[in-house]
Structure 1
């Protein structure tokens, strides 16, 4: 089920000393409540699209399920104050979720809201065994291809994107959201649904590369993460230990590879 991702608002535009009435297309941002087997777990502010992909991606990258087959069903319901996503998971996974349950309220750009202890902040490393390899030309062509497919950004200028570059260097999938973490979860969920070979491609993102972006990629076996903006120091350290190739500042004809450069030569 899809909901309106944009809305139109009037405003006053200023340019070169002149004011004029304007009508802009803005990205929607709504509370999305994720419920597992009837138990409320997380409320995220997100763009109301591709929410089934989001539910699967979030469930996998947060370790709530370890395989897509453990997520039995996903139903999306529009309510007066937001959207409720009812997810049914295997009883064993639900028991584990209840054991480590925390109240988690997510905000746009917030990765660890609601974490109760330092031990929960940085998840255990998972080694990546990736076969992916691309040239610099393929990387830059991939970012150009991703930009061309960012429909919401073209309309609103307000969304992040996460894109999949397959083993042949083609951009085959793009997901957008007001939150960079959400966009990546949506992409991962869609890729898993399609049974994509995650070890043979690369994820491209329009944001900075925070630790959690690295964690989400390595949790499903993705070996290359490339970002338009900078990585954090923690992201570089964790990517290096996890055998994940991390690149940042990907701009026209330039980029910086921080870890495992052999996959981007």
Structure 2
């Protein structure tokens, strides 16, 4: 566990109710629908504004820690002296034990949206090259474990089943799900996993990431920064994600549907 104390209130609602007009089976009706909440969180590091993240307002401390580690600002939770979250103000104020230089290119202030696109990260950014690790873990999966892990993640996806508007990520061992996190931003869900790992000291040896969406290059980079050797997902990887997975030693498994899946890189981790 980290040595510092978090001071914050309880999580904000993950969902909201809205009256909508629905068309179904040739009939119009006014009904109440459940939608995912969206929350803007501004992170300050040593009184300097770092970024604003649009997220689901749960596990905010994990998100902040994971995001800072992913950006290369910290390497461990022990480098944080204090973390204070004001859910009412929408701020997270972090004090680090070391000096953070914000005039470097990879610490430039930027706005980070919850949607996909060019606004998030590129492997060619300096901090990505520094923080994306080559993964040598020899974790192996059997086919039935691939299906079981994604099924276990789906069982935790309460907010997705209610709203259809969030992503899920889970940290697993071959025979068990360790923790799952939800967010409107696919990157945020992975940062929450990363933050929990750093704050709790969970060993990453022999672990797997399961993911609800497609494996984009940004998602693949997050997995590399966390340091996990296998990522499994319901959807497809992109060509750039496959290239990165091959280079970084990560086994990318996609299109896990029914009783089939595709292994795109490093198939030696799959038991055949």
The two structures have a TM-score, normalised by structure 1, of 0.91
| Residue in 1 that maps onto 2:35 | 26
Gaps of 5+ in 2: 1-9
Which residue is equivalent to 1:228? Answer: 234
**Structure 1 counterpart of 2:104, from 85, 99, 122:** 99
Structure 1 residues 110 and 34 mapped into 2: Cα distance closer, same or farther (>3 Å)? Answer: farther
Secondary structure at the counterpart of residue 198 of structure 1 = coil
Q: Which moved more, 1:210-219 or 1:110-119?
A: 110-119
**Structure 1 residue 244 displacement after superposition:** 0.9
List aligned pairs for 1:122-133, cutoff 5 A.
123-124=129-130, 125-133=132-140
Q: Which residue of 2 aligns with 1:47?
A: 56
1:172 maps onto 2:178 in alignment: yes
Does 2:43 correspond to 1:37?
Answer: no
Moved more, 112-121 or 231-240: 112-121
Matched, 1:5 2:14: yes
Residue number in structure 1 paired with 2:267: 261
1:175-201 CA-partner distances (Å, limit 9, x unpaired): 000110011111121122222221311
Judge conservation of contact 1:163–1:204 (CA < 8 Å) in 2.
yes
Query: Helix, strand or coil: the match of 2:87?
Result: strand
Q: Which runs of 4+ in 1 moved over 4 A?
A: 114-122
Taking structure 2 as the reference length, what is the TM-score of the superposition?
0.89
Q: Which runs of 5+ in 1 are unaligned?
A: none
3-state SS in 2 of match to 1:238: helix
Given the alignment of the two structures, is residue 208 of structure 1 paired with residue 205 of structure 2, yes or no?
no
Distance 1:221 1:214 in 2: 11
Report the equivalent of 2:5: none
1:57 aligns with 2:66: yes
Alpha-carbon distance in 2 for matches of 1:20, 1:50: 36
CA contact (8 A) 1:34 1:40 kept: yes
Taking the aligned partners of 2:120 and 2:161, their CA distance within structure 1 comes to: 33
Which 10-residue stretch deviates more, 110-119 or 147-156? 110-119
Contact conserved, 1:102 with 1:114, CA < 8 A, in 2?
A: no
